[in-house]
């Protein structure tokens, strides 16, 4: 195992932050897996899962079982981890106003497509190596002056040539769920079964270029751009793993999640060893544009009528927003109904809603007309 530190540009005199990166297995060995935790810095469950992963990887290494390469960034966002306001950690948006930490990663596909024209062969395996080399080269030319931009480039540089990318997040209050691209539903299903995911969301054009799409997206974009020239396999499975809710930080869960991730690596030949039979899946993958995101119509106290994990039917009241100054006095409420049949899998923790606030998610099987491609992730 090798550990390196990547220094980020100093944001202020006397201050400097760094990323610590742990590498297991022979450098350059395949398949390569990449893990990072808490890119949204106030999502703590991933930080604990990463510690259990490191323990498992140390043991696998001691037993000589790491045949591919595994890269772990156990603390992906030291900038966000230092953002406290009035005693609370706020790690989703950059205080330096560059926005959501998990949006706006560089999209390498367009530049890479131009460079790859005429350079590919009829051999898909060779093309994978050529595409990886090109993506690394295009990324290496990108400049970052701001600390957050440098952080994003550093993280993407570690992951861009991986076969498997795991971005460990959590929701506000939620059941364990995954996001991946619709082209990787089979991998998503296996990982979901291993982790006991309640929901597996398949994305197509989520928008905003989050980290998982920045890693996996170039492959399907290049495949589409160069389909008449050469075969390009989708050589990167990237997933955002939502490790339940922000307060779900427990050693037993974290140890089980890390063990499940390591068993997935065994199934894919990154680590040797017998993972055992695949657990039965808790769900079938469903489309991200089938997620009904319920929105508060007015300000008020939020009262849920449905709990996490409950099935809801289209038209059923999921929550009420209590209008504190409405009529009749003491009984003014706006009922909020689900637009789809599905599973209530994530809720906002706060119980005071603002008008327009998205507060809860129901995973349905069918795409919903109001969900727009390119704007499928909440900010």
The residue ranges that bind Zn ion (CB under 5 A) are: 40, 43, 169
Cβ closest to Zn ion, residue 36 vs residue 134: 36
Give min distance, CB of 256 to Zn ion, in A: 20
Cα–Cα distance for residue pair 162/200, rounded to 1 Å: 21
Cβ closest to Zn ion, residue 94 vs residue 161: 94
Give min distance, CB of 300 to Zn ion, in A: 26
Name the CA dihedral angle for 274, 71, 136, 236, rounded to a multiple of 10 degrees: 40
Strand partners, 2: 23
> Would you state the structure tokens that stand for residue 57, as one six-digit string?
């990887």
Cβ closest to Zn ion, residue 171 vs residue 292: 171
Nearest to 79 by CA among 14, 146, 17, 145: 17
Cα–Cα distance for residue pair 186/139, rounded to 1 Å: 29
Give min distance, CB of 169 to Zn ion, in A: 3
Angle between helices 211-225 and 147-159 (to 10 degrees): 60
Cα–Cα distance for residue pair 38/144, rounded to 1 Å: 21
Cβ closest to Zn ion, residue 169 vs residue 189: 169
Cβ closest to Zn ion, residue 69 vs residue 167: 167
Give min distance, CB of 278 to Zn ion, in A: 27
Give min distance, CB of 93 to Zn ion, in A: 11
Give min distance, CB of 357 to Zn ion, in A: 17
Cβ closest to Zn ion, residue 167 vs residue 194: 167
Task: Report yes or no: 319 and 306 within 8 Å, Cβ to Cβ.
Answer: yes
Cα–Cα distance for residue pair 303/307, rounded to 1 Å: 11
Chain CA centroid to CA 285, Å: 16
Give min distance, CB of 242 to Zn ion, in A: 7
Strand partners, 181: 203
> Would you state the structure tokens that stand for residue 115, as one six-digit string?
């460079």
Nearest to 80 by CA among 88, 90, 68: 90
Cβ closest to Zn ion, residue 91 vs residue 285: 91
> Would you state the structure tokens that stand for residue 182, as one six-digit string?
């619709």
């Amino acid at each position: 195992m090798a550990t390196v530190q990547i220094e980020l540009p100093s944001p202020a005199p006397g201050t400097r932050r760094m990323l610590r990166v742990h590498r297991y297995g022979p450098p350059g060995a395949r398949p390569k897996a990449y893990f990072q935790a808490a890119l949204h810095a106030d999502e703590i469950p991933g930080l604990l899962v990463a510690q259990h992963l490191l323990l498992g990887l140390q043991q696998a290494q001691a037993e000589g079982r790491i045949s591919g390469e595994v890269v772990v960034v156990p603390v992906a966002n030291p900038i966000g981890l230092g953002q406290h306001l009035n005693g609370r950690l706020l790690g989703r948006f950059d205080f330096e106003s560059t926005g959501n930490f998990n949006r706006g990663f560089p999209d390498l596909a367009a530049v890479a497509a131009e460079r790859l024209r005429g350079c590919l062969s009829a051999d898909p395996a060779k093309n994978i190596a050529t595409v990886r080399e090109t993506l690394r080269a295009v990324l290496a030319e990108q400049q970052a002056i701001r600390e957050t931009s440098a952080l994003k480039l550093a993280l993407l540089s570690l992951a861009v040539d991986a076969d498997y990318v795991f971005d460990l997040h959590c929701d506000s209050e939620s059941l364990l769920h995954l996001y991946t691209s619709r082209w990787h539903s089979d991998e998503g299903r296996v990982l979901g079964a291993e982790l006991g995911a309640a929901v597996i969301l398949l994305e197509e054009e989520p928008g905003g270029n989050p980290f998982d799409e920045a890693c996996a997206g170039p492959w399907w974009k290049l495949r589409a751009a160069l389909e008449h020239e050469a075969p390009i396999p989708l050589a990167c499975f990237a997933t955002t793993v939502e490790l339940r809710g922000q307060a779900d930080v427990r050693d037993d869960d974290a140890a089980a999640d890390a063990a499940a991730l390591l068993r997935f690596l065994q199934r894919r030949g990154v680590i040797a060893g017998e993972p055992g039979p695949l657990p039965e899946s808790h769900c079938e993958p469903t489309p991200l544009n089938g997620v009904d995101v319920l929105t508060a119509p007015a300000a008020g106290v939020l009262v849920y009528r449905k709990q996490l994990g409950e099935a809801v039917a289209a038209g059923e009241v999921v929550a009420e927003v209590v209008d504190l100054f409405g009529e009749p006095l003491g009984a003014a409420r706006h009922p909020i109904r689900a637009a789809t049949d599905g599973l209530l899998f994530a809720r906002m923790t706060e119980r005071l809603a603002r008008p327009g606030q998205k507060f809860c998610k129901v995973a349905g099987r069918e795409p919903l007309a109001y969900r727009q491609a390119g704007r499928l992730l909440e900010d």
